Amino acid sequence: MNTTLIVFVVAYLLGTLALGVWAGTRIKTTTDFAIAGRSLPLIMVVTTTFATWFGAETVMGIPAKFVQGGLNAVVEDPFGAGTCLILVGVFFAAKLYKLNLLTIGDFYRKRYGKGIEVFCSVAIILSYLGWVAAQITALGLVFNVLTGGAMSDTAGMIVGTLAVLVYVVVGGFLAVAWTDFIQMIVLVVGLAAIAIYAAGLAGGADQVFAMAASADLWRFWPEPSFKEIAFFIAAGLTMMLGSIPQQDVFQRVMSARDASTARRGATIGGASYILFAFVPMFVVCAAVVVMGQQALELAKGDYQRLLPTFVLERMPLVMQILFFGALLSAIKSTSSATLLAPSTSFVENILRNLRPDMNDREQLLATRWTIVLFAAFVLGYAIAMKGTSIYELVSSAYQVTLVGAFVPLVMGLYWKRATTQGAIFSVGAGIGTWLVFFPQVSDFGEAFPGQLAGLLAAFAGMYAGSMLPQWLRNRHEAVHELEGSPHGHAQPHHRAAGHAGH
């Protein structure tokens, strides 16, 4: 156990807690707590957007997947996830910002009514289970590694959750934004320094790139078969589109000081995420060059320990401090955002429907209590799911919003004919089809990806549900007009005969 390293880590945690408490003194209303009073400048929108995505799976999950399967294995994240933010910036940020809403669920209520609001909000909240659990799992792993096994994974999960929970409950999104700003500086500087040092250990960056090329890790496109292409597209779309109707993304859009800042912040944040996600991939490739078969065995078995093990065994103290500072920054920034987002959605879009007479002070208190309860629930879920990979916990989280919430959002913004009935059909068809493809239900999922089938069904449901009433109405009017004519059914015959005679 390295006492000096632990002291630095504890000091860093206490520093972020102090920053969160300071931010809490500036919280006056629910709007301040949930979206920082719509006041953040561009640089903070970029850092908090980037920080939300750059979590445990980016540092530990994606690199190990890359080493095992190349770029093709990480199409979902970072490529899909980063493209999501770019799409939000280009197509959604300005439109949503101008609506002046507190949560993404408010859009569903305004466009389709309370039923769709509640249903989509529940889907969004449930999708955060795997996402937050992945961060808590990673926190447990970090504390276990740091203490040389003296602190168990479970104890580490509890300590890490409490460390994040305090500043989120006290300072809300304002605390999250400020700590994200500091943590992203630590993250970028720390990982960049680690990458440079790792390249030196490997004998130069050219050696690392040569290893990646020899192992065919730059291969991106799938094999040219229907099944491979379908699963490749589904993997990319899961986070690319499934993350768009998410409260944490929406909060970053709405926290900007104007629509232009919201649009540019999301776009820059997404592009930065894709580019910087290559840094931990590079470090893991360097680890393979330096550690050889030991690194590959860790990547196949306990891959989440590969990078921490490489840093602790092969790098000096200053690099260890930088690495664990960067790693904790990544995990804490994501976990803080993903604790706040579903709690805000629950209070605004579910609890307020049960208690519409709540004033702003009561809503703020309810949000804080919900964060505590949600954190306790997810902590229990993370402990129960121990052994599940961080990458899998994250990637499975967004399928439910892809098939249940994305289509009503995009069609509600861009298709004027979208109706409440269309949204109901869309949600029902999307989730129903997705469930049918579960391996416990059928073998369909082995031949075609369930989330892609669910997405296609959701679009079909939206079109059919929105157009069916209009088609029935037009048909009824046509029949009524025909039956109400003075000549009844003989009218077309007379017209035809008259025309011929003429």
Do the beta carbons of residue 408 and residue 426 sit within 8 Å? Answer: yes
Instruction: Please compute the mean of the pLDDT values over residues 196-218 and round it to a whole number.
Output: 94
CA atoms within 13 A on the CB side of 409: 30
Instruction: Please compute the mean of the pLDDT values over residues 25-33 and round it to a whole number.
Output: 78
Dihedral sign from CA coordinates of 88, 345, 109, 98 = negative
Q: How confident is the model at residue 171 (pLDDT cuts 50, 70, 90)?
A: confident
Helix or strand run (H / E) with residue 501 = helix 491-501
Q: Which residue has the tokens 């840094």?
A: 279
Q: What is the pLDDT of residue 429?
A: 97
Instruction: Please compute the mean of the pLDDT values over residues 294-317 and round it to a whole number.
Output: 80
Between the CA atoms of 297, 301, 305 and 310, what dihedral angle is there, to the nearest 10 degrees?
Answer: 0
Do the beta carbons of residue 50 and residue 337 sit within 8 Å? Answer: no
Q: How confident is the model at residue 395 (pLDDT cuts 50, 70, 90)?
A: low
> Where is average pLDDT lowest: 247-261, 300-314, 423-437?
300-314
State the Cα–Cα distance between residues 199 and 53, nearest whole angstrom.
25
- pLDDT tens-digit readout, 318-346: 999 988 888 888 888 788 878 888 999 99
CB contact set of 32 (below 8 Å; sequence gap of 6+): 26, 172, 174
> CA angle, 246 as apex, 93 and 36 as ends, to 5°?
65
CB contact set of 155 (below 8 Å; sequence gap of 6+): 140, 143
What is the pTM (predicted TM-score) of this model?
A: 0.85
Q: What is the pLDDT of residue 485?
A: 59
